[in-house]
Amino acid sequence: MDMELYKLTIHEASDLLHRGEISSRELTKSVLERIEATESKLHSFISIHPEAALKQADKADWLRENPNSKELHVLTGIPFALKDNICTRGIRTTCASRLMEQFNPSIDGAVVKKLKNAHAVLIGKLNMDEFAIGSSGESSIFPHTRNPWAADRVPGGSSGGSAASVAADQVLFSLGSDTGGSIRQPASFCGITGMKPSFGAVSGYGLIPFATSLDQLGPMCKDVTDCAIVMNVITGFDPMDRMSAKISHPDYTSYLKQDVSGMRIGLLRGWMEGTISGDVRMAIEKAAKLYQDMGAWIEEITLPHMEYAVSAYLLISSAEASHNLTAGKGMRMGYKEGEICELDELAVGSGLQSLGASVKKRILLGNTGLCNDNYEIYYKEALKLRTLIKEDFDRVFEKCDLILTPTNPDTAFLFGEMEINVIEMYKYDAYTVPVNLAGLPAVSIPCGFDSKGLPIGMQLIGRLYGEGALLQASYAFEQNTDHHIKSPVLITSTD
Amino acid sequence: MKITAEYVESMARLSCIRLTEEEKTAFAMELDMIMNYLDNLKNADTRGVEPTSFVEINKITLPDKGT
């Protein structure tokens, strides 16, 4: 079949595979050729595994030729890639860090097992900020991923490679992890659909943690339908993850209907004034209007403690990161500096030396917030704010089904732009971090382009385990707009 | 609180991280800026508020204690 197969969505490719019009080998080869042609410009991947991928594709094709096979799934034979903080048995998993550069896991993460059981085809591991700490991809030790829409701009982070690879049609879908916006922000910067599920909805077994009480794995896709398909596979209770939620998950594709009549959508408007770009504000107002035209109720809401969310998030995530990164990891992994004689020297000369500057800073910040009197003044205060922020959401969800906000106050920034003032970069996460603090599900979907031609993302936030309503409202919006269909012309510059 | 290079050095030792002199100065400046920003927490009224470490994920299906 002569067409650009790599451009397909999961549901399109799956239909063609099902009807026998294409094979998974053809699809996988098309994707590998696309990567070959684009990767030197994009640097989405940390490792690519063509031979293993083709083998999996052949297995998928064999299964499809056996109509009685019980193992067939919508994802059978579909090429995908994983953020490189998800453990893959026998495949190097680096977290984009010198510390983990040679780490070869002996286990598959729970999500990897599920995707393997569905016979999806793993193409490779994706670039990211070191240990998922960052919002631009610039802290990776590997060549930095570029934004497919503009090579001089960041893809976002920390799941920058996951977003860029999907936006540039290098894979049909990817998985990312989201601690404070790390799925949604890069999805918005690269013009794709990214979903952060409710806390506990997806097992984090085999995910190398950043901040355990905030981390959540989720799908990054070309459209909402694909998101629902991947959600069906990766969600579910897992006794191996003590943060996993004991709930039954619905068939998420059953929510893909164009009906939002009577749905009550809270619009966070007051908070937008002065802090976000004109283009982004206009796109969100337009989205609200479209929802209204489709029969939804738009209600203005406030979240009074949102102004403290970034501070609370910084303290909590850094404290948890400092624990996760220093608790033994530096002893077991990475290179050791020089000769070590004393125990104290062993600590200081441990693998932690190989961490990059931004991770070191976050460890120091975490420990500063926890140290002596600071525990009461900063860390505990942050935990109390977390309670108040969660209660803000509870109040809104008494009268609303969903909340609409921009994903970020502006579109993708330039490489190096945020180096001077790191606070500005943290503020980019102002709309996404409250969601993690409250454990809620949220999605970022394309809702327009700014004057530079860069994609704008809008965020919908749902009730705890309310992914169904989120997908329904996202799908209805997507079916009435064409932002998600537009593809980037690789290697252009906005300046 | 004011973050100095000396403070960063002591915190680095506690965190098992060794820093160069340049890093100590640079990190002190940045951490100081961040701690200043974090001071906005002091404006929040948190009297009588319980801290939340984890969102209670199993609340929905697990029965109350005693059942």
Give the closest-approach CA distance of B66 to chain A in angstroms.
19
**Do the chains contact at A364 and B31, CB–CB below 8 Å?**
yes
- Return the DSSP state at A172: S
Q: In the structure encoding, which two tokens stand for residue B25, read together?
A: 């100065």
Q: How many CB atoms are located within 10 Å of the residue B51 CB?
A: 14
- Report the run of H or E that residue A402 belongs to, with start and end: strand A402-406
Q: Is B2 on the interface with A (CB under 8 A)?
A: no
Instruction: Determine contact, residues A324/A209, Cβ cutoff 8 Å.
Output: yes
Residues 8-67, chain B, touching A (beta carbon < 8 A):
8, 11-19, 23, 27, 30-31, 33-35, 37-38, 40-42, 44, 46, 49-55, 57-58, 60-62
Chain B: residue whose CA lies nearest to A246: B58
Q: Does A347 reside within a domain?
A: no
What is the domain count for chain A? 1
Task: Calculate the alpha carbon distances from A188 to A386, A446, A486 in Å.
Answer: 25, 6, 13
Instruction: Determine contact, residues A173/A80, Cβ cutoff 8 Å.
Output: yes
Q: Does A74 reside within a domain?
A: yes
pLDDT at position A273 is 65
Q: Does A51 reside within a domain?
A: yes
Chain B: residue whose CA lies nearest to A360: B17
Q: Does A167 reside within a domain?
A: yes
Interface confidence, given as ipTM, is 0.88
Contacts 24+ apart (CB under 8 A), A229-233: A229/A10, A229/A11, A229/A14, A229/A74, A229/A75, A229/A253, A230/A10, A230/A75, A230/A173, A230/A175, A231/A195, A231/A197, A231/A467, A231/A471, A232/A74, A233/A73, A233/A75, A233/A114, A233/A115, A233/A118, A233/A120
Instruction: Determine contact, residues A443/A437, Cβ cutoff 8 Å.
Output: no
Q: Please tell me the pTM assigned to this model.
A: 0.94
Of A305, A311, A361, the CB nearest to B30: A361
Which candidate in A384, A423, A440 is best for mutational testing of the B interface (most B CBs within 10 A)? Answer: A384
Q: What is the dihedral of CA A185, A168, A225, A206, to 10 degrees?
A: -60
d(CA A411, CA A276): 10
Give the closest-approach CA distance of B20 to chain A in angstroms.
11
pLDDT in tens, chain A (495 residues): 557 999 999 999 999 999 999 999 999 999 999 999 999 999 999 999 999 999 999 999 999 998 777 889 999 999 999 999 999 999 999 999 998 999 999 999 999 999 999 999 999 999 999 999 999 999 999 999 999 999 999 999 999 999 999 999 999 999 999 999 999 999 999 999 999 999 999 999 999 999 999 999 999 999 999 999 999 999 999 999 988 999 999 999 999 988 999 999 999 976 666 678 999 999 999 999 999 999 999 999 999 999 999 999 999 999 999 988 876 555 455 555 554 444 454 555 566 778 899 999 999 999 999 998 999 999 999 999 999 999 999 999 999 999 999 999 999 999 999 887 888 889 889 999 999 999 999 999 999 999 999 999 999 999 999 999 999 999 999 999 999 988 998 755 555
**Do the chains contact at B52 and A245, CB–CB below 8 Å?**
no
* pLDDT higher than 70, residue B7: yes
**Do the chains contact at A464 and B55, CB–CB below 8 Å?**
yes
List, as one string, the DSSP characters of A357-371.
HHHHHHHHHHHHHHS
pLDDT at position A340 is 46
Task: Give chain A positions within 8 Å (CB) of B41.
Answer: 308, 311-312, 315, 378, 381-382, 385
Q: What is the CATH number of the domain that holds A134?
A: 3.90.1300.10
Give the closest-approach CA distance of B65 to chain A in angstroms.
16
**Do the chains contact at A364 and B35, CB–CB below 8 Å?**
no
Query: Which of A28, A121, A125, A25 minimizes the C-alpha distance to A83?
Result: A125
Residues 378-437, chain A, touching B (beta carbon < 8 A):
378, 380-388, 390, 421-423, 426
**Do the chains contact at A384 and B54, CB–CB below 8 Å?**
no
Q: Does A176 reside within a domain?
A: yes
- Mind telling me the catalytic residues of A? 83, 158, 182
Cβ neighbors of A365 (< 8 A, separation 6 or more) are A314, A315, A318, A322, B31, B34
**Do the chains contact at B27 and A308, CB–CB below 8 Å?**
no
A-B Cβ pairs (cutoff 8 Å, strict): 130
Task: Give chain A positions within 8 Å (CB) of B42.
Answer: 377, 381
ω into residue A158 within 30 of 0, thus cis?
yes
Q: Is A250 on the interface with B (CB under 8 A)?
A: no
**Do the chains contact at A371 and B14, CB–CB below 8 Å?**
yes
Location of structure tokens 């939340």: B52
Q: Does A377 reside within a domain?
A: no
Amino acid identity, position B3: I
Instruction: Look at phi and psi of residue A77 and say left if phi exceeds 0, alpha if psi is from -120 to 50, else beta.
Output: left
**Do the chains contact at A364 and B57, CB–CB below 8 Å?**
no
Chain A: residue whose CA lies nearest to B38: A311
Of B8, B34, B46, the CB nearest to A384: B46
Q: Does A473 reside within a domain?
A: no
Chain A: residue whose CA lies nearest to B16: A348
Q: Does A434 reside within a domain?
A: no
Q: In the structure encoding, which two tokens stand for residue B53, read together?
A: 């470490």
- Domain range for A189 is 5-255
CA A105 to chain centre: 22
**Do the chains contact at B15 and A383, CB–CB below 8 Å?**
no
**Do the chains contact at A385 and B41, CB–CB below 8 Å?**
yes
d(CA A407, CA A316): 21
Q: Is A49 on the interface with B (CB under 8 A)?
A: no
Backbone angles phi, psi at A14, to 5 degrees: -60, -40
Of A349, A423, A438, the CB nearest to B33: A423
Instruction: Determine contact, residues A424/A310, Cβ cutoff 8 Å.
Output: no
Instruction: Determine contact, residues A400/A461, Cβ cutoff 8 Å.
Output: no
Q: How many CB atoms are located within 10 Å of the residue A466 CB?
A: 17
**Do the chains contact at B41 and A382, CB–CB below 8 Å?**
yes
